[in-house]
Amino acid sequence: MLADDDASLIATTLAGRSEAFGTLVERYDRAVYNLCLRTLRDPEEAKDATQEAFFKAFRALRTFRPEAKFSTWIFSIAYHACCDRLQRRKRFTDAELPDRADAGPGPALLAERSDEAQALRAAIDALPEKYRAVITLYHLQGRQYDEIAEVLKLPMGTVKTHLFRAKELLRRRLAGLRDDVAGEGAD
């Protein structure tokens, strides 16, 4: 069981063999980085937030409840580190407002990214922050609703609503992109 493995690695770390924490880093750094990247939309800041999340987790490892999942815990720490960074960013610029849809790259820019995956990533980046996190955790990382709710500190119903609205926004944006490409082809 993966959860047991995580728990035993934590126990080993707490017993003084801190190199066991390195295995946890290897196991989750990519996923945590992707959550930070999708939330912050800045690779350099995502790297810093990922590092900060693991540092906080390492320092607070004794407070980890054995019955909890390490993945939920580290995602939660990372997400809130990202939120702190977005808040700090908002103090200097008004670029990120969590409750409004970000204009993001328009269809013209999306069209330049011909690859579907690139277009989809760009469309995800254009979503409001709260939708980006849900999409990243659910679709890209295969997390369950209850775990996402715990990470984001949201009711499960809200998670489902965010997911539905996120997909609706993606559908519209990608449909607009496809129409634009089809229109250019007809010309």
Partner 1 sequence: MYDYDDIDRALFSLQLEEPPEDLRASILAVTVDAPREVTVAWPFSFAEMGFVGAALAVAVWLAVSVVHGAAWSASLESSARALGSALGNPTVLAWLGAGASTAVWLSLANLTPLLAGVRSGRA
Q: Which residues contact 172 (CB under 8 A, 6 or more apart)?
A: none
Cα–Cα distance, 119 to 140 (Å, whole number): 15
Q: Does 131 bind partner 1 (CB under 8 A)?
A: no
Find where tokens 């330049």 sit. Answer: 112
With vertex at residue 96, the alpha carbon angle to CA 165 and CA 41, rounded to the nearest 5 degrees, is 80
Q: Does 19 bind partner 1 (CB under 8 A)?
A: yes
Minimum distance from residue 112 beta carbon to partner 1 (Å): 18
Q: Does 37 bind partner 1 (CB under 8 A)?
A: yes
Minimum distance from residue 171 beta carbon to partner 1 (Å): 5
Q: Does 181 bind partner 1 (CB under 8 A)?
A: no
Quick one: CA dihedral 9, 10, 15, 18, positive or negative?
Answer: positive
Minimum distance from residue 94 beta carbon to partner 1 (Å): 27
Q: Please write down the long-range contacts of 119-122, taking CB distance under 8 Å and 24 or more positions apart.
A: 119/174, 119/177, 120/170, 120/174
Which residues inside 52-111 make contact with partner 1, applying CB under 8 A?
Answer: 54-60, 62-65, 68-69, 72-73, 76-77, 80
CA 39 to mean position of chain CA atoms? 5
Task: Between 58 and 90, name the residue whose CB sits nearer to partner 1.
Answer: 58
With vertex at residue 47, the alpha carbon angle to CA 43 and CA 50, rounded to the nearest 5 degrees, is 135
Residues lying near partner 1 in the complex (CB under 8 A): 18-19, 21-22, 25-26, 29-31, 33-34, 37, 43, 47, 50-51, 54-60, 62-65, 68-69, 72-73, 76-77, 80, 116-117, 120-121, 135, 139-141, 150, 167, 170-171, 174-175, 178
